Structure 1
Amino acid sequence: ALFDDGAMMGAMCSLVFSKIRHNLQGWQPSKQTLCMANGTVVLLEAMWSGTIQVNGVEAEGTFKVFNSGGGWSFLFGKPLLQVFKAKHNYTTDEVTITDDTTT
């Protein structure tokens, strides 16, 4: 996963989504378009909301699904980093996620 506290959403690459969509409940097709930071416009394939688990820590969140061009499988933007109470150490470039009992 890519952690980007400048991104204002969570995202899942469409290549990953195509492999796991049959196991996901609650996803919806989408025709929404997004404008990326570099000005590129991308078409969403779907949106999924549900329980996300990272190393034993769970939180509710949403992923917008589109082709990342191979850049990442999952993108955790600011909203997901907030619900996971993530702490980013910029010196070591490490992200710590906790639920007050699990780190």
Structure 2
Amino acid sequence: MEVVVSIAIGVMAGAGIYLVLRPRTFQVLIGLSLLSYAVNLFIFSVGSLSIGKEPIYKPGLPTDLAHYADPLPQSLVLTAIVIGFATTALFLVVLLALRGLSGSDHVDGRDERA
């Protein structure tokens, strides 16, 4: 399971970096979203990946961290998802306004084909 999650994080981060380096603003936006998803998945995986274990304390077991999942990475990822969604929406509005003002969606404002 850890290998699959690690490969997924690596592929998402690599695709995000590739898209961030593209010249069009929409590709940069999608790349930033992929990078944030990769970071969120990484943070979530730090909080102990386990299959078939309850994340809540069960009666009769010792009260230590070995018997339930850490809630801090889950809360950090939830907060990051909300902030990332708001930032993406704001960036999309700015992107549309920039395209309306400049007539181009290139990062530097110039179209190479023109």
Fold match (TM-score > 0.5)? no
Please identify the structure whose Cα radius of gyration is greater: 2
Q: Which has the higher contact order (CA 8 A, sep 6+)?
A: 1
Q: TM-score, normalization: structure 2?
A: 0.19
Q: Which has the higher strand share?
A: 1
Q: TM-score, normalization: structure 1?
A: 0.20
